[in-house]
Amino acid sequence: MSQQTGQQSDQHAWTERYAGALMNTFGAPKLVLTRGAGAHLWDADGREYVDLLGGIAVNALGHGHPALVGAVTEQLQTLGHISNFFASGPQIELAERLLALLGADGRVFFTNSGTEANEAALKLTRRTGRTKVVATEGAFHGRTMGALALTAKEAYRTPFEPLPGDVVFVPYGDVAALEAAVDDETAAVVLEPLQGEAGVVVPPRDYLPAARRITLEHGALLWLDEVQTGIGRVGAWYAHQHPDLVSEPVVPDVVTLAKGLAGGIPVGACIATGGSGKLFDPGNHGTTFGGNPVAAAAALAVIDTIEKDGLLDRVTAVGGRLREGLAAEPRVTEVRGTGLLIGLDLAQPLAAEVVAAAQDAGFILNAPTPQRIRLAPPLVLTDEDVTAFLAAWPGILDAAGLTGDATGAGAAS
């Protein structure tokens, strides 16, 4: 129940203060949130929501997980921050752990976010002596100038052009287009194993193996942006390792991570395998907070908890149930994704209305495009929460004014 005081809700009062103090980069906030527990959130008026977005694939362990709280508290009491003139145990252990999960030798550069991880990777590609990068239509790699140059959406790009150049865009999932674009002047091909911002677009299973073959033929780096898909999100440590997404094993030259890596504590990583890990020399790149011992300890706690609690299998099972339930609704024309990164298409371009109706019903979703919905809930989402959402789903679509073929059914993939 809402805990409003006086004529004006706490929610409204906070929103007004937000508008007067913060830059208008995100527009008006949908809610002002005050606390969370597991996959649940509460707003400033005391209303409860099931979080099916997870901070856009960030809150891997949900909100207030004891393992994460404990790790951050203990580390902050021990050693909070040091400059990169020095090293810490958690920083070194995390780098070793990420390489072990990747199953490859290499080196790691820590950052504070996904866009910074991609910025580091872009600079790394320049150390090959080449400048051309092949990216894909529908791609999202971040908002800093270098990462933005690799991001396809014109609305993001146009206000800040000219962007760093020599980037070629090709259709995502199209092997022939990739073969035509990559040549002996190409420094790198950058791909998302699944495109998240585009609405969870899944490529053919031969796409990443073909990209690996093509880049090797031309001496180019294969760079996989796993910022949204990595660290258990799809039911594997890295999406490019998942058998549902690749027809054969792929070992990339560069992998970028962030989002769920530390469960909400800012951290990112640029991992370079083999000889690529030695391309940076001292002074080539840097960061103040990257590899911070607190962020590294948080990331180690996330990895430990995913392993200890068997969350990779859990993600696969819960994700499958969600996709099946969503696809049973006739007004959903397609359901895509793997694990707990799920995208669906609606019969009409009413995604914003569906998100608003879901919020009114107590569920937080995302509309990456006018006709697509994205779900990226905490990996600890409960069966009870799934049941409640699927039961509410038809009513949410009704409230959004969605119509469609009453006899058809969506197709799960």
**Domain spanning 10-64+310-412 has what CATH number?**
3.90.1150.10
From residue 324, how far is each of 134, 339, 340, 412 by CA, in Å? 35, 12, 13, 6
pLDDT at 183: 98
Is-catalytic flag, 140?
yes
Domain boundaries, given as residue ranges, for the chain: 10-64+310-412, 67-308
Which of these CATH numbers, 3.40.640.10, 3.30.1300.30, 1.10.260.40, 3.30.420.10, describes 67-308?
A: 3.40.640.10
Q: Beginning with the edge strand found earlier in the chain, give each strand of the sheet holding 411-412 in spatial order.
A: 366-369, 372-375, 341-346, 332-338, 411-412
Phi first, then psi: what are they for 271, rounded to 5°? -105, 125
Task: Output the pTM of the full model.
Answer: 0.95
Rounded to an integer, what distance in angstroms lies between the CA atom of residue 210 and that of residue 404?
38
Catalytic residue among 10, 43, 45, 225: 225
Q: What tens digit of pLDDT does each residue of 241-300 get?
A: 999 999 999 999 999 999 999 999 999 999 999 999 999 999 999 999 999 999 999 999
CB 132 within 8 A of CB 165: no
pLDDT at 205: 98
Closest to 67 in 3D by CA, of 285, 310, 302, 404: 302
Structure tokens belonging to residue 235: 């039911």
Rounded to an integer, what distance in angstroms lies between the CA atom of residue 84 and that of residue 93?
16
Is-catalytic flag, 225?
yes
DSSP state of 215: H
Catalytic residue among 109, 110, 140, 280: 140
pLDDT at 404: 77
Rounded to an integer, what distance in angstroms lies between the CA atom of residue 229 and that of residue 234?
6
pLDDT at 307: 98
Q: What tens digit of pLDDT does each residue of 70-98 get?
A: 999 999 999 999 999 999 999 999 999 99
Half-sphere exposure of 411 (CA within 13 A, CB side): 2
Catalytic residue among 51, 259, 280, 389: 259
In order, the DSSP letters of 16-82 are HHHHHHS-TTS-S-S--EEEEEBTEEEETT--EEEESSHHHHT-TT-BS-HHHHHHHHHHHHH----
pLDDT at 405: 54
DSSP state of 291: T
Structure tokens belonging to residue 358: 């879901």
Closest to 14 in 3D by CA, of 58, 36, 44, 37: 44
Rounded to an integer, what distance in angstroms lies between the CA atom of residue 274 and that of residue 34?
45
pLDDT at 406: 39
Regions of the chain short of the pLDDT cut 50? 1-7, 406-411, 413
Structure tokens belonging to residue 334: 């397609």
Judge whether 10-64+310-412 and 67-308 match in fold: no
Residue 2 burial (CB < 10 Å; 0-12/13-18/19+)?
Answer: exposed
